[in-house]
Amino acid sequence: MTEINGPEGPEQPAGNTPDEAAVGPRRVVGTPPPAQARALLVRPEDEEKAPDRELPSEPDDLVLAKKAEKLVASLFILAMLAGFGFIAAYIGLEVHSLDAVLRSNLALGLSMAVAFLALGAGAVIWVRHLMPEVELTEARKPLRSSPEDKAAFKETFTEGADASQFVKRPILRRTLIAATVPVAVAPIVLLRDMGPLPGTSLRHTAWRKGTRLVQAVTGVPVLATDFVTPGGILTVVPEGTLSDDEELAKSTVLLIKLRPEQLEKPTVMNWTVNGTVAYSKICTHLGCPAALYEQTTHHILCPCHQSTFDAARGAAVIFGPAARPLPQLPITTDSEGYLVAQSDFHEPVGPSFWERG
């Protein structure tokens, strides 16, 4: 039923422009527009009783309008004062400490909000109570061009195509297309040096035979005899990598102390030291640090997507989207009793990648 067959609705629906006749050019309050400008306002399409003006010059309710005028003016004054307040707050309030920043933010934000909201409210009241209510109807023409226009365009297009010789001379057309192909590919080639090729770098970490496990942030090495409370957990990194984010993103390890009898397969027992087991902290799902540990259940939980690993059973996945256990780092103690790595991880750490296999 969208295609309306009947004539268009009334140009001016009743009730919206109450007395157009009364609002003639005779009775103009305020500055009368120049005669020419007013003449422009008359729409030639308006067949029947073309009114002198489409928009009444006075609001429907003059009493209400008077009240609204006062309110709007007050709101604009408020906006102005708030604007000055903003400038005053900027000049008067210092920052450079948390408290000062909060004070400044409150003063600046509040004055800005008041200024804008008062301006907006004023303008809305202005439109609703001071501008006369109107509802106009504008005809829509179908978007499709007329057959004549289309034919004329087609002719122009064909003429141009002929004049360009694009159709007549295929050798030009084809060589032009051939010339653009490498030009289109070149920018992609140009991106090649955005980064090095991965090579095998995702397969190795900084852990080597004898690398000491040091605490993240502080860099203090861990004595096996200091880390003895069951349930204890420590984030450790290879010695010498404290400020190397690329290494930390691969090599960070969770050191967890369990009672030796708690450890079950597939934990590799030879890689543990008296119930202390080391797993990669980089989640095998998407690489977040699997940072949450629940002592009673010895579950490691990654806070990003809740992959859960069982620290007592080789960090096997017990819930969540991770597909693989956290790789276990072989550890032992050195001659001074510090915890050290036996070797690098035996498999790539972190999220999967295509070449991982």
Partner 1 sequence: MSIERGLEGVGTWLDDRFHGAKGLRTFFRKIFPDHWTFLLGEIALYSFVILLLTGTFLTFFFQPSMTSVTYHGSYVPLHGVRMSEAYASTLNISFDVRGGLLMRQIHHWAADLFMAAIFAHMLRIFFTGAYRKPREVNWLIGIVLLTLGLLEGLFGYSLPDDLLSGAGLRILEGVLQSIPVVGTYLAYFLFGGPFPGHDIVPRLYILHVLLIPGLILALVTAHLFIMFHQKHTQMPGPGRTDRNVVGAPMYPYFMAKTGAFFFFIFGFLALASTFAQINPIWLYGPYTPTAMSAGSQPDFYMGMLEGALRVMVPWEWNVAGHTFSFNVFLPALVPLGAIFTAAAFWPFIEQWITGDRREHHVNDRPRNAPTRTALGIAVVTFYGILWAEGANDILADHFAVPLYLTTRIAQVTMFVGPVVAYILTKRICLGLQRKDAHLLEHGVETGIIRQLPNGEYIEETRPVSEEKRAALVFRSKPPGLPSSGEEDENGVPAPEMRGALGKVRARLYNIVTESVELEPSHGNGHGDGHGNGHGADHAPAAVTSGEPTGTGSGTGEGDQHGS
Q: Which residues within the stretch 221-260 sit at the binding site for partner 1 (CB under 8 A)?
A: 235, 237, 243, 245-246, 248-250, 252
81 near partner 1, judged by CB under 8 A: no
The size of the interface with partner 1 (CB under 8 A), counted in residues, is 108
**Which residue, 277, 275, 276, is CA-closest to 261?**
275
Residue with Cβ nearer partner 1 (259 or 356): 356
321 near partner 1, judged by CB under 8 A: yes
142 near partner 1, judged by CB under 8 A: yes
Among residue numbers 176 through 215, which ones bind partner 1 (CB under 8 A)? 191-192, 194-198, 201-202
Residue with Cβ nearer partner 1 (234 or 263): 234
Select from 137, 145, 164, 295 the one that contacts partner 1 (CB under 8 A).
137
Select from 56, 85, 275, 289 the one that contacts partner 1 (CB under 8 A).
289
CB of 166 within 8 A of CB of 177?
no
Select from 101, 152, 176, 223 the one that contacts partner 1 (CB under 8 A).
101
DSSP string, 192-231: GGGS---TTGGG--S--TTPBEEETTT--B-BTTT--STT
Among residue numbers 291 through 310, which ones bind partner 1 (CB under 8 A)? 291-292, 302-307
Q: Give the phi and the psi of residue 301 in degrees, each rounded to 5.
A: -120, 130
124 near partner 1, judged by CB under 8 A: yes
Residues in Cβ contact with 27 at an 8 Å cutoff, skipping those fewer than 6 apart: 57
Interior/surface letters 63-78, b for 16+ CB within 10 angstroms, e for the rest: eebeebeebbeebbeb
d(CA 220, CA 237): 10
In the complex, least distance from residue 330 CB atom to partner 1, rounded to whole angstroms: 20
28 near partner 1, judged by CB under 8 A: no
Q: List the beta bridge partners of residue 332.
A: 340
